[in-house]
Structure 1
């Protein structure tokens, strides 16, 4: 995977040298994040992403778009525990949120199928900034740092589409498919990220 990213970077450098035009911009939007694998009772965490982009125009149909994006990911879940207090069987329910916040670096290939409309795909490397587990029960909450339980680097692939107006305003929808196990604990458990993103951006 690292060799693949190095090869992509070298190709990107070569394409940049032959670029017809380079534009810089910013983007922000909605994240609907979750994880897949050895996890139960999980649901999506609704959060956000924000960052900077550069579109490198190679031809009228093809562009390369490297990005640097802060992305709040993770999951939500309903925690349930049942115990016998000697008189009754009691079930306690609480709400949990796993907050995995990344600095993601995607390199997106854009192919324009029509004026302003592009299909997009490309690899991504993510650097874990923080990992916290929050539990809320009957109005009380507790948050713990769990970064040591997670890998510091995540690899993924992006697929999506975008639409760009002539004035620089642009819109995008993208899914990031996690490829690597983000858990860094003993055992055979495997958990991978998955994030659907809706973005609004502007090229200066």
Structure 2
């Protein structure tokens, strides 16, 4: 009887160890370099953050799946500056437009470990729009020749109704995980869905998300 109990205990310990080796989870955070592509002109990268958690399940030593839940600050920006001097009078015009799109991202990544913690990953992502705002800033000034004038202003509006509440994309990335669970990754999210939801321009203007993510995390 004691041998049976001892064998059962050893089996349970063995299964626990296998499960621990197969499954891991932990926090993840990093920086976004986000923009918008498609029928949108002069869109520049907007810097934001992403934060959340990840869970990894390994099928064997090489292959696994990683599911994540991330709060992601995305969007795009555009800046315009023009300075001219004529007859000793300098005129400066500055304008900045920023689209602030915040999403909850749910990527599921197939991972393949090449060697010594280095891995490549690819997988789909579904995203849910949390908030969308458009911000406009301007500064205008004239100086010199007895003239000194300047003005500035800003405005922020909600644009949730102009964008679709859900987005689909495809991720490609590289990663490295240390034996202690600390990991790093770089990923590109290619938006596959037109997020423009304005009735008059939905079919005419296509707008897609495009995000580069640099991340760090820890797996327990």
Identify the TM-score tier after normalising by the shorter chain. 0.7 to 0.9
Superimposed CA distance per residue, residues 111-170 of structure 1 (whole angstroms, 9 cap, x where no aligned partner): 000021110000000000000001112353211000100000000000011000011100
Q: Quick check: 1:183 aligned with 2:184?
A: no
Q: TM-score, normalised by structure 2?
A: 0.77
Match of 1:160 in 2: 173
User: In angstroms, what is the RMSD of aligned CA positions?
Assistant: 1.9
Which structure has the greater CA radius of gyration?
2
Alpha-carbon distance, 1:79 to partner: 5.9
Over 3 Å counting, the alpha-carbon distance change for 1:152 and 1:144 in structure 2 is same
Q: C-alpha distance in 2, partners of 1:102/1:40?
A: 23
Secondary structure in 2 matching 1:69: strand
Classify the secondary structure of the residue corresponding to 1:39.
coil
Unmatched tracts of structure 1, length 5 or more = 1-17, 81-89
Match of 2:112 in 1: 111
Partner of 1:36: 37
Local SS of the residue matching 2:161: helix
* Residue 71 of structure 2: aligned partner: 70
Aligned to 1:22: 23
Which segment drifts farther, 123-132 or 183-192? 183-192
- Between Structure 1 and Structure 2, how many residues are aligned? 178
Structure 2, unaligned stretches of length 5 or more? 1-17, 82-90, 140-151
Tell me the residue number matched to 2:56: 55
TM-score normalised according to structure 1 size:
0.83
